[in-house]
Copies of this chain bind each other. A is one copy, B any other.
């Protein structure tokens, strides 16, 4: 059916969809940058979705029980900006649309969480949206199980393109969703057969329906330009016919209506140009000026934006009547529990007395064992390394299709999918997710970990086996550059605690964070309790004096995690040789950087030799060793300069020269 026939067959639908198409073309043209083809192709599907299926109220973008809409194909950002403007989200003024992709506008090139209400998550790196949506759907199931369908019952809708489906993270996401039977998750595939390089067949021949079915999804198809057929498919998808998540293939034409560019990659990523826009307007029968939406069409869209108002008000009434409304309000606000601080304080006191010698991964488990029962909002998990990451505590129960009140998720061997799901769980609200894998496999999760930081989501990464100290598994499993990578990433707190007390403090900070993710780098090997006081949270200062020198310090040793023990031993040796030596523990460089200059100078005075000890590369240490302005001093580093090796941990420390003896020798060399 050609466009003229489509227009004629369903004029009411057509003009609503045409408004999206026109705004998208115009905004990309004005910005002279952007992706018009996807919004033009998916306008029909989006119109049917928003007008007939999505539960939302444009006047209350953050209504907790709204359906979530995730534009996984984030380059098509003008689709969501158009929808938000048309349905009446207050922030999304026409002015913002006109300033698409400009400095200070909320209409960023790709949808950015926190810029515009109604954007549920940042997308753009392909596949992140669909994987984050799995987290939304998990959180919805879990909250419904805990608070009942009266307070939580909604769907998560995703629009994904071929790019999202080719990315590996999509398989992790759909495997997890299929196994977990997340029936309220519905993915709409923009099946337009075009990628940036040309037709999909240049690079892919996957039978996507069969693939999703193999992963435990129900699959449907529709003509993505036929409103009635779209409505049929979405009605079926939303019906909950069985307990599987639903994948809907929407056959569309990219850049639909552009006489010269539709159905080509030319419509994907650049403005159509004035002439082609005029021709496309004619094809649409849209004779309104640039950025002009006629009042009657806007009124219709605004009515769509108000469709959910009564439902929201009824929900408000139910919440007000709920016995547990205060706790529910706290949970969905993300506020920190007041039970956290005393729980951590008690554990620290115990540790100060008992002085356990345990791996910090075990210390982390000790923290979780006391925290999880007090904080019902935690939801843990691991990428199939539960016994190694020590992430599962006795009280949690396993989250599954049969047990939605379980608070431990077996993410499977899916680090990237886990990280993205954690982002979605936090974004949904109601939970504080944490998840574990080996530190080295931050490599696999990087894409989603960066989005945790960019969006400002206080999720917690429990990264165990954090150095050559893991021993025999060898260099593929031994991080050496990962601390540098994490410390280079903006808005990421990287903790490397040295004992139980620092581990407890790091957890306290991580679980109190509101806008920053935390990474806990934890040892496999046992470490002594080194702290001699448990009052203040010293980890919150980033670095502090753990052992004072017997006299004015001639040497300051800085270290983190498992190397603090080495620093303390080296100090004892140096002190025995008459060299006053201070040990500074540095559990978080980021937090130390935030301290006052006076405090930083107090911890790291100008005169003494400085040596840092960390079983990793030196890069992040230079500023601490040398001072940001390059003060005159002598500095050394005991650590790694290349990859690790496969052998027992004590052998590796000895062979790579990360020992108290090597530290003492370096100190003496620098003192001479």
In the complex, A642 has a CB within 8 A of chain B:
yes
In the complex, A643 has a CB within 8 A of chain B:
yes
A34-70 vs B, CB cutoff 8 Å, 1 = contact: the mask equals 1000000000000000000000000000000000000
Q: Is B646 a contact of A101 with CB atoms below 8 Å?
A: yes
Compute how far the CA of A171 lies from the CA of B164 in the bound complex, rounded to whole angstroms: 12
In the complex, A133 has a CB within 8 A of chain B:
no
Within 8 A of B (CB), among A141-185: 162-163, 166-172, 175-176, 178-179
Q: Is B454 a contact of A447 with CB atoms below 8 Å?
A: no
Q: Is A124 a contact of B474 with CB atoms below 8 Å?
A: yes
Shortest CB–CB separation between residue A161 and chain B, in angstroms? 9
Q: Is B168 a contact of A454 with CB atoms below 8 Å?
A: no
Q: Which residues of B contact A632 (CB under 8 A)?
A: 630-632
Compute how far the CA of A112 lies from the CA of B474 in the bound complex, rounded to whole angstroms: 9
In the complex, A655 has a CB within 8 A of chain B:
yes
In the complex, A357 has a CB within 8 A of chain B:
no
Q: Which residues of B contact A126 (CB under 8 A)?
A: 413
Cβ contact of A630, chosen from B123, B415, B446, B627, cutoff 8 A = B627
Cβ contact of A443, chosen from B122, B163, B446, B642, cutoff 8 A = B446
Q: Is A488 a contact of B619 with CB atoms below 8 Å?
A: yes
Q: Is A481 a contact of B489 with CB atoms below 8 Å?
A: yes
Within 8 A of B (CB), among A431-482: 440-441, 443-444, 446-447, 450-451, 453-454, 471-477, 480-481
Q: Is B109 a contact of A646 with CB atoms below 8 Å?
A: yes
Q: Which residues of B contact A6 (CB under 8 A)?
A: none
Q: Is B205 a contact of A216 with CB atoms below 8 Å?
A: yes
Q: Is A641 a contact of B490 with CB atoms below 8 Å?
A: yes
A479's nearest neighbour on chain B, judged by CB, is: B450
In the complex, A82 has a CB within 8 A of chain B:
no
Compute how far the CA of A630 lies from the CA of B634 in the bound complex, rounded to whole angstroms: 6
Q: Is A216 a contact of B210 with CB atoms below 8 Å?
A: no
Q: Is A168 a contact of B166 with CB atoms below 8 Å?
A: no
A470's nearest neighbour on chain B, judged by CB, is: B109
Q: Which residues of B contact A484 (CB under 8 A)?
A: 484-485, 488, 619
Q: Is A195 a contact of B413 with CB atoms below 8 Å?
A: yes
Cβ contact of A387, chosen from B168, B197, B410, cutoff 8 A = B197
Q: Is A473 a contact of B109 with CB atoms below 8 Å?
A: yes
A163's nearest neighbour on chain B, judged by CB, is: B413
Q: Which residues of B contact A122 (CB under 8 A)?
A: 476
Compute how far the CA of A648 lies from the CA of B488 in the bound complex, rounded to whole angstroms: 25
Within 8 A of B (CB), among A347-399: 382, 384-388, 398
In the complex, A645 has a CB within 8 A of chain B:
yes
Shortest CB–CB separation between residue A264 and chain B, in angstroms? 13
When all copies of this chain in the complex are counted, the total is: 2
Compute how far the CA of A206 lies from the CA of B450 in the bound complex, rounded to whole angstroms: 28
In the complex, A302 has a CB within 8 A of chain B:
no
Q: Which residues of B contact A112 (CB under 8 A)?
A: 474-476, 646
Compute how far the CA of A170 lies from the CA of B215 in the bound complex, rounded to whole angstroms: 14
In the complex, A33 has a CB within 8 A of chain B:
yes
A161's nearest neighbour on chain B, judged by CB, is: B413
Within 8 A of B (CB), among A64-112: 74, 101-105, 108-110, 112
Shortest CB–CB separation between residue A477 and chain B, in angstroms? 6
Q: Is B472 a contact of A33 with CB atoms below 8 Å?
A: yes
Q: Is A103 a contact of B410 with CB atoms below 8 Å?
A: no
- Point out which of A195, A385, A619 has the most chain B C-beta atoms below 10 A from its C-beta: A619
In the complex, A3 has a CB within 8 A of chain B:
no
In the complex, A125 has a CB within 8 A of chain B:
yes
Compute how far the CA of A385 lies from the CA of B197 in the bound complex, rounded to whole angstroms: 6
- Do A178 and B206 form a contact, CB below 8 Å, given A384-B163, A414-B168, A481-B488? yes
Compute how far the CA of A453 lies from the CA of B443 in the bound complex, rounded to whole angstroms: 13
Compute how far the CA of A179 lies from the CA of B205 in the bound complex, rounded to whole angstroms: 5
In the complex, A229 has a CB within 8 A of chain B:
no
Compute how far the CA of A90 lies from the CA of B214 in the bound complex, rounded to whole angstroms: 45
Within 8 A of B (CB), among A620-644: 620, 622-623, 625-635, 641-643
Shortest CB–CB separation between residue A542 and chain B, in angstroms? 16
Shortest CB–CB separation between residue A615 and chain B, in angstroms? 13
A640's nearest neighbour on chain B, judged by CB, is: B490
Q: Is A203 a contact of B412 with CB atoms below 8 Å?
A: yes
Q: Which residues of B contact A211 (CB under 8 A)?
A: 211, 214-215
Compute how far the CA of A196 lies from the CA of B474 in the bound complex, rounded to whole angstroms: 18
In the complex, A661 has a CB within 8 A of chain B:
no
Q: Is B196 a contact of A388 with CB atoms below 8 Å?
A: yes
Q: Is A487 a contact of B619 with CB atoms below 8 Å?
A: yes
Q: Which residues of B contact A430 (CB under 8 A)?
A: none
Compute how far the CA of A283 lies from the CA of B14 in the bound complex, rounded to whole angstroms: 73
In the complex, A518 has a CB within 8 A of chain B:
no
20 A-B residue pairs with Cβ-Cβ distance under 8 Å, sorted by A, are A103-B647, A103-B652, A110-B477, A112-B474, A112-B475, A124-B477, A125-B444, A163-B413, A168-B171, A168-B414, A170-B171, A171-B171, A179-B206, A195-B384, A197-B384, A208-B214, A484-B619, A485-B488, A622-B622, A628-B635
- 6 additional A-B pairs beyond A197-B384, A205-B216, A618-B623, beta carbons within 8 Å, are A168-B414, A197-B386, A487-B619, A488-B617, A490-B642, A626-B630
